[in-house]
Amino acid sequence: MSRLRRRAALILASLGLAGLLLALPRSAALFRLAFPELERPLYLQDDFAALTLSHLGIVALSSALALLLGGGAGLWTSRPAGREFRPLLESLLSLAQSLPPVAVLAATVPLLGFGALPALAALTLYSLLPIAHATLAGLASVPPDMREVAAGIGMSRRQILLRVELPLAAPVILAGVRTAVVINIGTAALASTVGAKTLGLPIIVGLSGFNTAYVIQGALPVALLAIVVDQLFQWLDDAVAPQRQPAANKASASAKP
């Protein structure tokens, strides 16, 4: 898919999400027609736009924390000082990833109470693995000769990391963050089981009350939101792409007489 088509897909998905959020509060007649057996076919307890913003806020904060912790852990275990701890890190993250999201949420409630905090803890935990793995894979993909040339022209370790390694590893790290965020958007719907305000509220209420219309009204914004964010990360990847080759050639060019 060309960049122009990907940009068009992002715009269309964003407009679709905005249109859906505007249309849902006015769609009682449509859902009454589709589900005539339901006494209340439209979810009215909360505003869908407010739920979407709250959903996005929880996802954004948990993803940022995961990037800080997972990216930092991946970076540290890629350095000589922390390399021996890499197997331990991977084992712990894999163990955390294997736990069901509902179980993690239930375990955090006694410690953090009901609301957004258990959701933040669970989503952050689930985002650590893809981000840490992407950081390790991205840094490992940097050609060794790039580091050698950079060191040969007098760059410090910090300069090599910031000017050579991270720019070259950025696409792989971005792919890991993209995966984590998109997964978080879907998983955040479960956070409503512990009292967090997310788009999962209509789904949970619908499931508990056998109201299929509510489930659809919660699931559609979640699906469109995931598509919009995924396309946004694709746009970011396209924006980063022109910088990859200059970053890759910088050290080599500097070494030429």
pLDDT digits (tens, 9 = 90+) for 51-76: 999 999 999 999 999 999 999 999 99
How far is it, in rounded angstroms, from Cα 210 to Cα 220?
17
How far is it, in rounded angstroms, from Cα 79 to Cα 129?
18
Contact 135, 237 (CB under 8 A): no
How far is it, in rounded angstroms, from Cα 109 to Cα 197?
15
pLDDT at residue 209 in the model: 92
Inside any domain, residue 250: no
Q: Is the pLDDT of residue 18 over 90?
A: yes
Contact 134, 175 (CB under 8 A): yes
| Domains in the chain, number | 1
How high is the mean pLDDT of the chain? 88
> For the chain, percent helix, then strand, then coil, each to nearest 5?
85, 0, 15
What's the whole-number mean pLDDT along residues 34-45?
A: 94
Going by pLDDT thresholds of 50, 70 and 90, the confidence category of residue 108 is confident
How far is it, in rounded angstroms, from Cα 205 to Cα 142?
49
* Domain at 182, CATH number: 1.10.3720.10
Inside any domain, residue 201: yes
Inside any domain, residue 145: yes
Q: Residue 100 sits in which domain range? A: 48-211
pLDDT at residue 250 in the model: 52
Q: Is the pLDDT of residue 257 over 50?
A: no
* pTM, to two decimals: 0.86
Inside any domain, residue 2: no
197: amino acid identity, one letter = K
Inside any domain, residue 249: no
Going by pLDDT thresholds of 50, 70 and 90, the confidence category of residue 136 is very high
Q: Would you state the structure tokens that stand for residue 155, as one six-digit string? A: 């760059």
| Angle of CA points 139, 142, 144, to nearest 5° | 120
